[in-house]
Amino acid sequence: MMIEMDGFPIQFLRKRIKNINLRINAQGEVKVSAPLNLPLLFVHRFLQEKKEWISERRKQLQLYSTRPCAKDMKTGERHFFLGNPYTLIVHESSRKSSFWVDKALMNCCVTAQTTSLEKHDLLQNWYRQQMKLLLPDLIKKWELIIGVEVEWCGVKAMKTRWGSCNPLKKRIWINLHLMQKPLICLEYVIVHELVHLLEASHNTRFYALMSQYMPNWRVYQKHLSLGEACNSK
């Protein structure tokens, strides 16, 4: 069900919950869920009370979001690498596909028949190559600081998490989309997952350890929460 507030649509859903829940995803879409028997009038009143927060949040998402435009992959689009903006330049007269960064430009060399999806895959493969170059040294750095050891680390594009950890097997996954964020955000996620090797749960001890090893971790967490609807675990 869709409801409106000040001209923009809000996705509304009733659930078996006790309180009203409000969420804004990375695209700025507002979603609200409410208890089954709660009158709609109270939902509208709740949204009006949150009106300023919703407006500010959507502005922040527009400012901080660094997701690449995967729909077109045309010359002039803005993409991000390690938190810095780059202008995409597509060269369609090449015999062999390639991708590289030069100053403030991202160069995508393809044939005239290359599809937008294939161009996007080329960009994602380049991001993956860059992350695999960075991860070994960063993991080693923080392993020594925290006093743990990772058995295996993988990279994949995830929609709901920045990273994940299996404490028993000492295996971690890192979200490929972090290559669009500042380097310190990538380090934050690495620290988050490595701390899980000491404390599997998100409890008081876990957050105390985070503050011990990375005192400003909440700043980096906030930056990531503004840009994507993802969590680390």
| Residue-level pLDDT at 152 | 95
Q: What is the CATH code of the structural domain delimited by 127-232?
A: 3.30.2010.10
Query: pLDDT at residue 68 above 50?
Result: no
**Model pLDDT, residue 27:** 64
**1: pLDDT strictly greater than 50:** yes
Residue 227 above 60 pLDDT?
no
Domain-wise residue ranges, the chain: 2-64, 78-125, 127-232
Q: Mean pLDDT across the stretch 13-19?
A: 91
Which carries the bigger pLDDT value, residue 60 or residue 79? 79
Q: 103-125, pLDDT tens digit by residue?
A: 899 999 998 888 888 889 999 99
Mean per-residue pLDDT of the chain: 86
Task: Please tell me the pTM assigned to this model.
Answer: 0.68
Chain CA centroid to CA 208, Å: 24
Average pLDDT over residues 224-229: 58
- Residue 57, number of CB atoms within 10 A of its CB: 17
Q: What is the strand order of the sheet 161-166 is part of?
A: 152-156, 171-175, 161-166, 231-232
More reliable by pLDDT, 93 or 78: 78
pLDDT above 70: residue 60: no
Residues 83-107: tens digit of each pLDDT: 899 999 999 877 788 898 988 999 9
* Element of type H or E holding 24: strand 21-24
pLDDT surpassing 50 at residue 70? no
Any idea what DSSP says for residue 178?
Answer: G
Tokens describing residue 124: 């994602």
φ, ψ dihedrals at 89, nearest 5°: -120, 120
Show the tokens assigned to 206: 């876990």
- Directed axis angle between helix 217-227 and helix 183-195, to 10°? 110
pLDDT score of 61: 63
By the 10 Å C-beta count (0-12 exposed, 13-18 middle, 19+ buried), 186 is classed as: buried
Give the pLDDT band of residue 161 (cuts 50, 70, 90): confident
CB 11 within 8 A of CB 31: yes
Pairwise pLDDT comparison (211 vs 159), residue with the higher score:
211
